[in-house]
Amino acid sequence: MREKFFHRSFYIWLIVLLSVSLVFVLGSTRTVSADINSADEPEVGTVTNDDSGQIPAKLYLNISYKGKVIQNERIECELRPYQKDNLADGQEVSMDKLYSNGSYEPVDGHYKLSDGSEVFPTNSYYLKWDSEKKQLYLTDKDNEIFSFSKTGNSESIMPVQFSKISMGFYYYASNNDDLIGTATATGTLENNKFTIDVPEKPEKFSNLNYDAYSGDYNLYKGSPINLDGSNLSLSTSDDKNNPHNYIFYRNIHLSIPNVGFYRTIYLNDIVYSSRKYTVPSNATTFTGYNESSNEIPKDAELYDTYAGYYIKDFTLGGVISEKDVADRLSLKDNKIYDYGNIDSDTFLTKIYSQNRLFGMYSNGYVTLDYYYQRKDNPKTSSQDVLLHTNLGDKIVRVEGDIPSKDIKVDVPVVDGYKKGSVTASIDESGKITLKDPDGNVNDEKSLYDYVKGTDDSGSSSTPTKPEPSIPSHSSSSVHKVEPTITKKNQLVSTAICKGYVSLYKISGTNISKVTDQALSAFSDWQSDEMVTINGEKYYRVATNKWVKDQNVYVYQPLDTVVKTKQNLVYMKNNEFNNITNRALAANSSWKVDRIAYLERDSTPYYRVSTNEFVRKDDINIGN
């Protein structure tokens, strides 16, 4: 039986409203009062009995609804000495003037049940002592009498009405029925009906595979639940075995977030093949993610394997402790991962066995990159690419020659929406760029907008924009436009994680790779020219030797000291990945030697060590 995290193992006993009286009487001894008359004879005054010692100090009142006792619910309260005296004198004690053994009082005479529901008595109730029968009674205004058991068992009952009711909700993963978490909601009685809005997702999560930041749940969007207060059933539950009446449980199944698993195969540093998978974040076994035989380059030798991950919101104890956490490392010297000779299924299983959970990556992704070498460069590339759309990211398959342009790619069909397509290009490195018919590039914003409707064939989903008409030209009519070379002196540095960085020769729009020379990792170079060809920027570092913008960053030398601001400062490496194992203390001073522009924009980063950079906004310069 699944453990019910929703249930507490104890009950909060009900209490009643305390008397506003501040009278405090010490002891309960009864006395006889007398006046002295003129004959010095005592005149007997009101002689009270001494029954107070027989009146129970504690009362246990069951509560009932429509004549049926509510299971496990009772009011436990105590009589103060002066109240016992009043009862012994034949007075009635109002129920709203009893003292609870708890530490708080109900509001407006409402009693709170152990499930959080609130009830109030249907009538006004009083306690009364029968001095002849030595019996304490519970009576209402109509003198209907309920007797207490002399054995101390709670036989007396107090009929109640509901004013509020709590409902509990269990949320399960739709793929394997795991309990994700629980939530409660409270409805107020209005016109004898309860209306309760069901929470879209859990308020409390049951294990570390799930939390409020675990990507995008397929949230519950059900209508409010309406209950008729006059016909509440005493059945335990619709869906669960429930020891409490009047808590109505509902089971809700949610589609849980997935973890992105991106596997890429490089041949001579060119993307040869890639696959993108979505793995359930609560997965504990992993099959079906292995490389197929046609994805492994023939006559190629594996020389390195890199594993990495990215987490948008890293949570600890249900609270975001860090954002944009990423890392990437080589496996060729790692025994646990078979020195890089590891298939995808085993790799994912190893990750799970090391972390004991996979859901921590559910608002990010895990990567596995194989690097092969072969004499000849690949001629074609076959890759999965994320397409950003107004309906969320979609995976599209792009296949073509290296390099190639204007590859038509159909977008995934979505029921109720028109069909459509985008275009793709593959550069010499195997990098794929998606564009819409207007030439807009696939970036973090939506590139493709699905439009509701059907095409001419009656099936759902025509392109959102008409495909452009491309006129046909003979080779003699094509006007060849030479790229514009801009002269600009600047310093560039190769990224340390790139390994050897390829050089290229450029002649007009023709680009060829230099095969006998390359730039070493983490080396600095003087550039005097730059040019953009097919959307890719190049920097010249020697006579007709060019390096791609994606493999270097631009920097300026600087010799100064900076001081961090009031908060802990996190750093980036020169590939703009977060550094997760180090940070700079608040109000600490650091020497810097350069300003780097890591993201090809105007945001400056200051280098505080070999491969650690801090953002300008996080520091004060010259302190």
Contact 297, 378 (CB under 8 A): yes
- Confidence tier at 370 by pLDDT (50, 70, 90): very high
Check residues 140 and 442 and name the one with the higher pLDDT.
140
Rounded to an integer, the average pLDDT of 466-481 is 34
Rounded to an integer, the average pLDDT of 269-279 is 90
pTM: 0.49
Q: What percent of the chain has pLDDT over 70?
A: 76
CA 265 to chain CA centroid, Å, is 31
Rounded to an integer, the average pLDDT of 447-463 is 63
The chain-wide mean pLDDT, for the chain, equals 75
**C-beta contacts of 171-174 below 8 A and 24+ residues apart:** 171/201, 171/202, 171/220, 171/252, 171/253, 171/254, 172/251, 172/252, 172/253, 172/254, 173/210, 173/253, 173/254, 173/256, 173/280, 173/282, 174/218, 174/253, 174/254, 174/255, 174/256
Q: pLDDT tens digits, residue range 132-157?
A: 888 888 888 777 777 776 555 556 78
3-state percent breakdown (helix, strand, coil) of the chain, nearest 5: 10, 45, 45
Q: What is the pLDDT of residue 456?
A: 55
Q: What is the pLDDT of residue 394?
A: 86
- Confidence tier at 602 by pLDDT (50, 70, 90): low
Distance CA(337)–CA(346), nearest Å, equals 9
Check residues 376 and 314 and name the one with the higher pLDDT.
376
| Upper half-sphere CA count for residue 480 (Cβ side, 13 Å) | 8
Q: pLDDT tens digits, residue range 493-510?
A: 887 555 678 888 988 888
Domain map (residue ranges) of the chain = 69-144, 162-199+220-236, 258-279+365-448, 483-619
Residue 337: left if φ>0, alpha if ψ -120 to 50, beta else—which one? alpha
Instruction: Give the Cβ contact number of residue 362 at 10 Å.
Output: 28
Of 273-287, 495-509, 521-535, the range with the lowest mean pLDDT is: 495-509
Contact 50, 88 (CB under 8 A): yes
Q: pLDDT tens digits, residue range 165-218?
A: 778 888 888 877 788 888 888 888 777 778 888 888 888 887 667 777 777 788
Contact 514, 505 (CB under 8 A): yes
Of 81, 78, 91, 79, the C-alpha closest to 25 is 81
pLDDT at 413 exceeding the cut of 60:
yes
pLDDT at 233 exceeding the cut of 80:
no
Q: What is the pLDDT of residue 267?
A: 92
Rounded to an integer, the average pLDDT of 465-492 is 54
Q: Read out DSSP for 323-344?
A: EEEEEEEE-TT-TTTGGG---H
Q: pLDDT tens digits, residue range 309-367?
A: 888 877 765 667 778 888 889 999 988 889 889 999 999 988 877 766 677 777 788 99
Structure tokens at 244: 């409490």
Helix (H) or strand (E) holding 499: none
Q: In what order do the strands lie in the sheet with 432-435?
A: 404-410, 421-426, 432-435
Q: What is the pLDDT of residue 540?
A: 92
